[in-house]
Amino acid sequence: MRALFIGFGNVGRTIARILTLERSRFPGMSPLDDLVPVAIVTRRGGSLVDTKGIDLGLALEEMDSRGRFPEGHPGYTDITGVEAAGSLDYDVIVELSTLSIENRGEPAATHIRTALSRGRNAISANKGPIAFSYRELSSLAKSVGKKFLFETTVMDGAPVFNLRESCLKGCVVTAVDGILNSTTNYILSRMEEGVGFAEAVKEAQDMGVAEADPGNDVDGWDASAKISALANVLLDADMTPLDVDRHGIAGVTPADIRKAAESGKKLKLVCKAWKEKGKVFGKVGVEEISHSHHFSLVSGGGAVLRIHTDLMGPILITQENPDLYDTAYGVLGDLITLRQLCY
């Protein structure tokens, strides 16, 4: 199975590490032993193309040590993602670039659209294409008989989309709710411990949890993209993050946190999507959660999703303390699924 990787940041490099340096720790990865990475395209660090297969271990070493591929590397090129998706020969595109709300999920959606149009499979770790263009891209995949997988976009590799597909057969999902953005959850957890908002944001940045511009998280955009993706896939909606009733955590004060604590509650940024009279609604906002509610124990970088259906459940999926290996696994699991189905 020949793979074109778009992006080689934290997630791409963790995938490469698992498949090379740390391969012996993970015996279950054997279905991917014949994976051939035919190209790695980055936006600022150069790109590599080699139809015989790129040495992932060497690419990892170079990116880790220099922050880019050296121009002398065999197969070095300055091809763009769109060019690579449209011209190279591969079986699956693996889209690992980051979410852009202002560009409405582009150029990731175009990479995937291009790959599917050419009869290739697509895996996305970028939630933009699912949050903004799911109905179009999933129809396209269906029409060409190819797979479009994106498990890691919500709660990393924890079962969400594949759970509905494989474990809730025959159930109709009626609503979902949960805590899905780790940066805001970390900030709120630290504020409970008495740390100020600005200081908690800075801590999250220093830990590499929040971006340099934390607006995507703090203003609820990342959470809105996730609830939009969930609504589109699980509730058959056709929405975008712009349709979500979105409230961030920027206005939350230490006094708010204290007030909630006095009545035995915690403040959490809760995401929900639900059906009402045939229409699907999405909402992100701070809620007071009682100490007896499962969401109250999801602290720091944890996450939880509760799925309501017409027959089974509700059930909750909880991640205690996810890290980059969980995100990388979401992509690796999709690659294994594809390998079993198609090659």
Regarding 24 and contact with a second copy (CB under 8 A), the answer is no
Residue 52 a catalytic site member? no
Which of 10, 20, 23, 26 forms a contact with a second copy (CB under 8 A)? Answer: 26
> Looking at 88-96, 230-238, 259-267, 288-296, which segment touches a second copy (CB under 8 A)?
288-296
Tell me, what amino acid is at 157?
G
Rg (CA), the chain: 20
Regarding 162 and contact with a second copy (CB under 8 A), the answer is yes
Regarding 236 and contact with a second copy (CB under 8 A), the answer is no
C-alpha 261, offset from chain centre: 32
Give the 3-state secondary structure of residue 209. coil
Regarding 158 and contact with a second copy (CB under 8 A), the answer is yes
> Looking at 23-31, 62-70, 203-211, 267-275, which segment touches a second copy (CB under 8 A)?
23-31
Rounded to the nearest whole angstrom, what is the least distance from the CB of residue 229 to a second copy in the complex? 17
Please state, in angstroms and as integers, the Cα–Cα distance from residue 83 to each residue in 47, 115, 169, following that order.
12, 11, 39
The number of beta carbons lying within 10 Å of the beta carbon of residue 194 is 10
Which of 45, 157, 178, 248 forms a contact with a second copy (CB under 8 A)? Answer: 157
> Looking at 46-54, 136-144, 156-164, 206-214, which segment touches a second copy (CB under 8 A)?
156-164
Helix axes 108-117, 128-144, angle to 10 degrees: 0
Q: What are phi and psi of 168, to 5 degrees?
A: -125, 35
CA nearest neighbour of 250 among 317, 197, 195: 197
Instruction: Give the pair of three-digit tokens for residue 168.
Output: 């809730």
Which residues contact a second copy by CB under 8 A? 18, 25-29, 31-32, 156-159, 162-163, 165-172, 292-294, 296-297, 310-320, 325-326, 329, 332-333, 336-337, 340
**Catalytic residue list:** 226
